[in-house]
Amino acid sequence: MSIKEISREDILKALGTVQEPELGGDLVSRGMIRDLSVDGSRVTFTIVLTTPACPLKAVMQKQSEEAIRKVAPGVTAIKINWDADVSVARRGGASGVSEPQSPLLPNVKNIIAVSSGKGGVGKSTVAVNLAIALAQDGAKVGLLDADIYGPNIPIMMGTNERPRMLGETRIMPVENYGIKLMSIGFLVPAGSSMVWRGPMVHGALQQLMRDVEWGPLDYFIVDMPPGTGDAQLTMTQSVQLAGAVIVSTPQDVALSDAIRGLGMFQQMHVPILGLVENMSYFVCPCCGERTEIFDHGNVRRVAQQRNLTFLGEIPLDTQVRVGGDSGVPITVSQPESPVSQAFREAARNMAGRISVLAHRKLPVIK
């Protein structure tokens, strides 16, 4: 084929053989190809993803380039631009019925509960770094600290700024590292003890969602308190959750509690987006020896046994603790480190799972 014979139809034919690796169907029929132009032997087009945090972006790029060169060998240059139209998978809630939006958060596409069965497993650390990883990939992200009794997000996100009022009834979220934030910790004096009963917790969480000017968001990460109490019931009954992410360390004591939390979300008809194994192993920075301090691989095993998605394993690293205490999370301070890459992989796997759920015809409760 000569250069003059290359046409848009040739390129579309080639791209029509490239399958979306998670959702199925080819890129053309799914409407993912935009702004295609052919200039002599140069081809330029945009692939519109269902999430900017697509975990298989590199796979689609490689397959697209190979398909074009196979159908149109005269092509000398291929430029692929990327865009995203984030899918909405707001499907979970106490009713088990999929609804188009959550009235408390009408401009939020996907609400994700990050949960654990017990404290001390690094759930807030995972929530913070998942949120930052998504924002670094280009998503619009909000982070809500739903732990009324022990709010840690202000410390971990490095800000104690008091939210500003917008008019008489609306609250502007605090922003840092590209994330919109809200926590009861921003609204009460530092160190204050919240001695509240369940109805007060319920009301506070609803207010932190309803009265805050969150604006349009692709992902709304909710850092849940540990356990299966009032906050969990409020979230599952008040909004349509895209799903829950369960965080656990590998040892049996933590994992048994995580399984109970997982069962609570299933009982409330909330999809499980996946499981994360935190503090999965430790690599000595001096000698490089790997030590599995809390055991290893048990969270992956539970995910496989229950036919759930395993989102990834996060190694134990002192810099994660330093980042949390200093208010500069490791995905900000050391974005190319192995730990940050692990958080980024987990975030992308989670976003991919949301896209899969969004494109299924019926809610999938697992």
pLDDT in tens, 108-163: 999 999 999 889 999 999 999 999 999 999 999 999 999 999 899 999 999 999 99
274 pLDDT exceeds 70?
A: yes
b/e per residue, 233-260, with b = 16+ CB within 10 A?
bbbbebbbbbbbbbbbbbeeebbebbbe
Provide the pLDDT for residue 275. Answer: 98
353 pLDDT exceeds 90?
A: yes
Q: Compare 228 and 143 and report the one with higher pLDDT.
A: 143
3-class secondary structure, 280: strand
Using pLDDT thresholds of 50, 70 and 90, give the confidence band for residue 302: very high
Distances (CA, A) of 111 to 50, 138, 167, 182, 222: 16, 17, 26, 14, 7
Phi then psi for residue 245, to 5 deg, are -110, 125
Look up the pTM and report it: 0.91
Using pLDDT thresholds of 50, 70 and 90, give the confidence band for residue 52: very high
Greatest mean pLDDT range, 23-32, 131-140, 221-230 = 131-140
Q: What span, in angstroms and rounded, lies between the C-alpha atoms of 22 and 19?
A: 9
Angle between helices 198-210 and 230-238 (to 10 degrees): 40
194 pLDDT exceeds 80?
A: no
Provide the pLDDT for residue 235. Answer: 93
CA R_g for the chain: 22
Q: What span, in angstroms and rounded, lies between the C-alpha atoms of 344 and 92?
A: 25
168 pLDDT exceeds 90?
A: no
Residue keyed to tokens 């969270």? 299
Provide the pLDDT for residue 363. Answer: 40
CB 110 within 8 A of CB 88: yes
Domains of the chain (ranges plus CATH)?
3-84 (3.30.300.130), 108-358 (3.40.50.300)
Q: What span, in angstroms and rounded, lies between the C-alpha atoms of 134 and 52?
A: 8
Residue keyed to tokens 């398909």? 67
Best CA proximity match to 14, nearest among 72, 73, 89, 53: 72
